[in-house]
Structure 1
């Protein structure tokens, strides 16, 4: 089974990457993996604060994920899988790509309206010389109709 991996973050561009991955998975009998990474810098350490912050981050991620998962289950009829990790988002993304040989495509959203914006994850991936799968860059301004045509 081919898996489509998408990085879930708070950006608008991740929405189209999710849609693309779900539609492609539905059309190819694949699966969608959604990775969300809690940056270690977001977790303060000491006296139980880290545990509370970690729990709050998990709750926020799971609530965000459920919005996308509900649509995936209803529309393209795909059951996504959520993976939550802590660390550097770029490093964790690359680590997961190497850990799971069934991942066939990494879908990354790109903010196409702000030409000056840098995507740190995409920049990190471009420096990687040993990626085990192709990257599909999904522009944030593609319409749902256009995505359906492409997938």
Structure 2
């Protein structure tokens, strides 16, 4: 089944990318796979502080996933695969693509104005020609009417 891999965080452009991917999946009979990448917490010598930092990171990731599920609920009846990973984002994204042969595209939201974001810069730059799937860059400034028209 054609699967759209969407990398999400708390930004508005990530939500726009998720909406776009959900609509494409519904119209093409495909699926959505959501990836949340948490930064690896710096090591702290005191175990209690380390555990608190890790718990806060997990809680933040759970909030991001909950918002994503709300967004998908507004878009229709999709049941996405959800993956939460810890580490550097680019290698985690590449590993997710390599692990699932059904992934048909990497969908990223580009921040409006100025810098489009680190993942968009990375994957549309030196990595663009090395991925085994196309990259869909969704402008973060798109509204729902534009998404309806384009997806």
Counterpart CA distance in 1 for 2:12 and 2:75 is 20
Runs of 4+ in structure 1 over 6 Å off: none
Please name the residue that 1:117 is paired with: 115
Matches of 2:94 and 2:70, distance apart in 1: 27
Partner of 2:10: 10
TM-score, normalised to structure 1's length?
A: 0.88
CA distance in structure 1 between the aligned counterparts of 2:30 and 2:73, rounded to whole angstroms: 13
User: What count of residue pairs does the alignment treat as equivalent?
Assistant: 148
CA distance in 2, matches of 1:67, 1:90: 22
Give how far 1:134 is off.
0.4
Moved more, 90-99 or 64-73: 64-73
Higher mean alpha-carbon deviation, 65-74 vs 96-105, is at: 65-74
Q: 1:43 to 1:29 in 2, by over 3 A?
A: farther
The reply on whether 1:45 has 2:44 as its aligned counterpart is yes
**Structure-2 separation of matches of 1:118 and 1:150:** 20
What is the Cα-based RMSD across aligned positions, in Å? 1.7
Per the alignment, do residues 43 and 8 of structure 1 end up closer, same or farther by CA in structure 2, a change over 3 Å counting?
A: farther
Q: Secondary structure at the match of 1:63?
A: helix
SS in 1 for 2:44: coil
**What is the deviation of 1:108?**
0.7
* CA distance in structure 2 between the partners assigned to 1:102 and 1:50 by the alignment: 37
User: For the residues of structure 2 that align with 1:79 and 1:70, how far apart are their CA atoms?
Assistant: 12
Give 5+ residue unaligned stretches, structure 2.
none
Q: TM-score, normalised by structure 2?
A: 0.88
In the TM superposition, residue 101 of structure 1 has moved relative to its aligned partner by 1.1
